[in-house]
Amino acid sequence: MIEEKLKWNEKYKTLTPKPPSVLINYIPTANAKALDLAGGYGRNAKALADKGYDVTLIDISEIGISKINDNRIKTFCLDLDSYMIPKNEYDVILMIKYFNLNLLKQIPSALKKGGYFVFETIRKYPISKEEFFEIFKDFEVIYFSEKPFRFIGKLFNYK
């Protein structure tokens, strides 16, 4: 994904910081673990750190990551195309303004029971609604909109 890396490195040289996604407001305050997939310059990761989360952020752009400058956030400059999320590891996972079907399918097993997934994409229908909800069939829907495609789900807490 060298093109993505070059594209985003170039953008992050001049990008003006934006506020976090409004979806972050739905996530409860907690002393718990969060993963921000393709988190860029960390606008959403910082908002989760403010809520008490221990946040890990992964992104391919070292320029984006260099702008984070926040020692509450663990950063990794990696290509997510070949990434495997550890299982049963996180209380919150973000995939915001980035889409990767392979990672999307890993979310249910990567979250702890009761964990939240926050999804927002710039594309209207990255996959069909049916396909999306098949992946997230074990989630309670906390928020959903189609335009833009936004979703927050909470993994059922099985007894």
Ligand X SMILES: C[S@@+](CC[C@H](N)C(=O)[O-])C[C@H]1O[C@@H](n2cnc3c(N)ncnc32)[C@H](O)[C@@H]1O
Which residues contribute to the site for ligand X (CB under 6 A)? Answer: 1, 4, 8, 38-40, 43-44, 59-61, 64, 79-81, 96-98
Nearest to ligand X of 60, 73 (CB atom): 60
Nearest to ligand X of 66, 157 (CB atom): 66
Nearest approach, Cβ of 147 to ligand X (angstroms)?
18
Which residue from 137, 149, 26, 155 is spatially nearest to 91, judged by alpha carbons? Answer: 155
Q: Alpha-carbon distance 52 to 72, whole Å? A: 10
DSSP string, 44-89: HHHHHHHTT-EEEEEES-HHHHHTT--TTEEEEE--GGG--PPTT-
Nearest approach, Cβ of 97 to ligand X (angstroms)?
4
Nearest approach, Cβ of 142 to ligand X (angstroms)?
19
Give residue number: closest CB to ligand X.
40
Nearest approach, Cβ of 4 to ligand X (angstroms)?
4
Q: Alpha-carbon distance 131 to 133, whole Å? A: 6
Nearest to ligand X of 25, 157 (CB atom): 25
Residue 123: Cβ-neighbour burial (10 angstroms; 0-12, 13-18, 19+)? exposed
Nearest to ligand X of 39, 115 (CB atom): 39
